[in-house]
Structure 1
Amino acid sequence: MSPCPRQRASWSTSPGALTRYRRRIGTRGRGYDTTTQAILTCAWLEGGHTYRSLGAGNGVPKSTCRTLVQEGIKVLARRALPLTEVVRLAVKAGWDYLIVDGVNIPTERVAAQYTKKQYWYSGKHKRHGGAVQTVAAPDGELLWVSGVLPGRTVDITAARLFKIADKVLEFLGLLADLGYIGLHPDIITGYKRKRGEKTLSEAKKAANRAQASLRCLGERANAQLKCWTVLTRDFRGNPRQLTTVVKAVQTLQYLIRDPFGTSRIDTVS
Structure 2
Amino acid sequence: MLLYRASLPLSRSTLKYVTGVVRRHRARLDGKDRALPPGMQALMVLVYLRKGETFAELGAGFGVSTTTAWRYVNETVELLAARSPKLAQALRKAVEDGLLYLVLDGTLIPIDRVAADRPFYSGKHRKHGMNLQVIATPSGEIVWVSGALPGAVHDLKATRIWGLLRALEATGLLVLADKGYNGAGEPLFTPYKGRNKPEHLKNANRSHARLRSPGERANAQFKSGRILRKLRCCPHRAGHLAKAIHVLQARETHAN
SS in structure 1 of the partner of residue 131 of structure 2: strand
1:27 Cα deviation after fit = 4.6
Corresponding residue of 2:131: 131
In the TM superposition, what is the alpha-carbon distance from 1:186 to its structure 2 partner?
2.8
- For the 8 Å contact 1:7–1:42, the answer to whether it is kept is no
Paired with 2:29 and 2:10, the residues of 1 have a C-alpha distance of: 28
- Output the amino acid matched with 2:129: G
Q: Is the 8 A contact 1:7 1:39 kept in 2?
A: no
Q: Is 1:241 the equivalent of 2:237?
A: yes
| Partner residue, 1:56 | 60
Residue 147 of structure 2 corresponds to residue 141 of structure 1 = no
Whether 1:256 and 2:237 are equivalent positions in the alignment is no
**One-letter amino acid of the counterpart of residue 193, structure 2:** K
- State the shift of 1:82 in Å: 1.0
For residue 189 of structure 2, what is the aligned residue in structure 1? Answer: 188
Once the two structures are superposed, the pairs formed by residues 94-173 of structure 1 within 5 Å of their partners are 94-109=98-113, 118-171=118-171, 172-173=173-174
* Residues 104 and 216, structure 2, Cα contact 8 Å, conserved in 1: no
Larger mean Cα displacement after TM superposition, 33-42 or 123-132: 123-132
Which residue is 1:69 aligned to? 73
Instruction: Quote the residue 2:219 is aligned against.
Output: 222
Shift, 1:124, TM fit: 2.0
- 1:239 deviates by 0.3
1:200 maps onto 2:197 in alignment: yes
Q: State the alpha-carbon separation in 2 of the partners of residues 82 and 200 from structure 1.
A: 40
Does the aligned pair in 2 maintain the 1:110–1:120 contact within 8 Å? no
> In structure 2, how many angstroms separate the alpha carbons of the residues matched to 1:44 and 1:153?
28
TM-score for both structures, normalised by structure 2: 0.92
Distance in 2 between residues matched to 1:74 and 1:18, nearest whole Å: 11
Task: Give the Cα separation in 1 of the matches to 2:117 and 2:242.
Answer: 25
Tell me the amino acid that sits aligned with residue 183 of structure 1: A
Name the counterpart of 1:174: 175
* Deviations 1:20-69, CA, capped at 9 Å, x for gaps: 21222335222211101100001000000001111211222211111111
1:18 partnered with 2:17: no
Query: SS state of the match for residue 80, structure 1?
Result: coil
**In 1: Cα distance, 2:186 partner to 2:16 partner:** 45
In structure 1, the gaps of 5 or more residues are 264-269
Count residues with an aligned counterpart. Answer: 251
Deviation string, structure 1 residues 54-106 (Cα, Å, up to 9, x no partner)? 12112222111111111111111111011211111111111111100011101
What is the distance in 1 between the residues matched to 2:62 and 2:184?
A: 48
Unaligned runs of 5+ in 2: none
CA RMSD of aligned residues (A): 1.9
Q: TM-score, normalised by structure 1?
A: 0.87
C-alpha distance in 2 between matches for 1:71 and 1:82: 20
Instruction: Report Cα offsets for 1:173-218 as digits up to 9, x if no partner.
Output: 111011111113331111112xxxx521222112111111101112
8 Å CA contact 1:142, 1:220 repeated in 2: no
Counterparts in 2 of 1:251 and 1:203: CA distance versus 1, 3 Å: same
C-alpha contact 1:190 1:211 (8 A) present in aligned 2: yes
Q: CA deviation at 1:219?
A: 2.2
Following superposition, the deviation at residue 169 of structure 1 comes to 2.4
Percentage of pairs with the same residue: 37
Contact 2:94 2:143 (8 Å CA) reproduced: no
Report SS of the residue matched to 1:109.
coil
Give 1:117 deviation, angstroms: 5.9
Q: Distance in 2 between matches of 1:135 and 1:100?
A: 5
Q: Closer, same or farther in 2 for the Cα pair 1:7/1:119, shift >3 Å?
A: farther
Aligned letter for 1:36? M
Query: For residue 267 of structure 1, what is the aligned residue in structure 2?
Result: none
- Structure-2 separation of matches of 1:241 and 1:157: 20
Report the Cα distance in structure 1 between the residues aligned to 2:82 and 2:104, rounded to whole angstroms: 22
The amino acid of 1:4's aligned partner reads L
